[in-house]
Each structure stands twice: as C-alpha cells, then as structure tokens.
Amino acid sequence: MTRAKTKTRPATEDKGPESAVAVPTSKPPRQTKAALLRAKLSEPGGASLAALIEATGWQAHTLRAALSGLRKEGLTLTRRREGEDTIYAIESAGGEASLSIEGVA
C-alpha cells in the first residue's frame, strides 16, 4: 500500500500581516489559594481560622501547615484568641521598619 501525498505550503508563501507581528496577550495574574491566604491575613484585624478555611476550602491542618510555610518564608504572623475563634494576622511591616531605623541611628 502506498500513502497518498499531502499538500504542503511552499516556504516562500506569504502568511499575511497578522502572522508577521506577534501580539502579546496579557493574562491577569492567577489567583492562587496561597495569594488569597496572604490577602486575608494582611487585612486589618487579620482573619479567623474559620474564615480562612471557608475562603480556601482547606482543612484546618492544611491551613496551619500553610501558615507555617509563611513563617518559614520570613513573615511574622500573630495569633490571638477571641472567644472561641483563633485570629491570625501578618504583622505590619511599619513596626519592623521603625525598629531597624532606631538600631541604625
């Protein structure tokens, strides 16, 4: 059996003006659960464990592991209790900057 030949375009054929210039398409940044977690923790007052679980869909142990990962990245997290709720927050950078300025002076 022999195969039928397929037609191919000659290499010199003009492809048209739309293929001459590649137009970059900009996609919005992907919203990850880790980015959502950072955003919630950066809000004034922080976020409760229950609110973080609801926002991410993670189980409590997975969420606490993600918080440990943020600590390993160098972020300072605070934790406080309000009744039955545990509230987590990222410590503001303003306090750290003033400490470093006092140490230099």
User: Looking at residue 92, what is its pLDDT?
Assistant: 75
Residue 61 lies in a domain: yes
**Count of structural domains, the chain:** 1
Residue 5 lies in a domain: no
In the predicted structure, residue 34 carries a pLDDT above the cut 60: yes
User: Looking at residue 14, what is its pLDDT?
Assistant: 57
**Whole-Å CA distances, 21 to 13, 16, 17, 18, 72:** 16, 10, 7, 6, 44
CATH code, 93: 1.10.10.10
Residue 13 lies in a domain: no
Residue 18 lies in a domain: no
Average confidence (pLDDT) over 11-27 = 65
Residue 55 lies in a domain: yes
Query: Which domain, by its residues, includes 35?
Result: 30-104
